[in-house]
């Protein structure tokens, strides 16, 4: 079972009443695992990667804004 079980999404950061389905959770977990592997391969230590993920989780609106800016610059 996924570590992010649907029951844990009752306080969803995605907005009132919005929940991710199991399929979408699986996709998101695969993407995050890929990001983890990429950062590790780039020389980030495990603690650095965890700290980065924690920082992103604390400021999701900032991350969304930065990602939109990067996507629009391409």
In a domain, 60, yes or no: yes
- Output the DSSP codes for 10-74: TT-TT-TT----HHHHHHHHHHHHHHHHHHHHTT--HHHHHHHHHHHHH-HHHHHHHHHHHHHH-
Domain that holds residue 68: 22-72
3 closest CA partner among 24, 27, 29: 29
| pTM for the model | 0.59
**Quick check: is 45 in a domain?**
yes
The number of distinct structural domains making up the chain is 1
Tokens of 17: 């009443």
pLDDT tens, N- to C-terminus, the chain (74 residues): 444 444 444 455 555 556 778 888 899 899 999 999 999 999 999 999 999 989 888 888 888 888 889 889 87
């Amino acid at each position: 079972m996924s570590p992010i079980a649907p029951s844990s999404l009752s306080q969803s950061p995605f907005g009132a009443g919005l929940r991710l389905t199991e399929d979408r959770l699986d996709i998101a977990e695969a993407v995050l695992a890929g990001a983890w592997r990429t950062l590790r391969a780039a020389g980030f230590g495990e603690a650095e990667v965890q700290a980065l993920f924690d920082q992103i989780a604390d400021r999701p609106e900032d991350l969304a804004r930065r990602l939109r800016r990067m996507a629009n610059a391409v």
